Structure 1
């Protein structure tokens, strides 16, 4: 058991050292204390790759020996049903068959039109037009299409 533990510890330290050497964080390199704190946390949680070829972490191989990871809260039944009703109403459901298209793409007249997305205001468009005219880009583009 000691041999396995020390092999795992050596592998973890090597991985942390390599990761630390390759990491380029805006806050700068990690201190020795930070690395040791991360190592201790990884050992407690089993978030260290096990020695061998499996590539699995210790908490994946031996889940009963480590604390369970907190479950991610999913959607409630009511939220899922609300989304389903909205998707059915808008035709935003993939049609049966091999086309891969949604019902509102196959039968657009049977579903409400999707609202147009406005990505620029009128003022922004006019400002861009004025800038293009000042830079001469508007004239070049306008003549190239005629």
Structure 2
């Protein structure tokens, strides 16, 4: 019992020494300044489960950034809409989020996607992902196997 308490005390004394070896990345003031900037620009995540930023939810409340695209003319927008209607690249009705060319593919021209990888490359990537636990586990949380079972895949990361 005395050995346990001695080890606990020693580890508590040594902890700050080990922590001081790590590089301090930001000061408290820097973090506060970044927070203020994010709040001002609307880059903070909004409350709830949407995953959207404040600027995405309410774009009129935040200044337009310099990276915003130049506005399109009315004719450009109409041409894009006509192209999307012709190819079925618009959302189908309902809550599925599928496009018309996915729901009814026979009505629209086939879009050929050229594969940039060979079959062997894909097979080797899949084998590596399985070996390293980079496969998404079954469930709703979206975690990978190596996140759920780090002990099983620890050797693959090192």
Q: What is the TM-score normalised by the length of structure 2?
A: 0.36
Q: Which has the higher contact order (CA 8 A, sep 6+)?
A: 1
Query: If the length of structure 1 is used for normalisation, what is the TM-score?
Result: 0.38
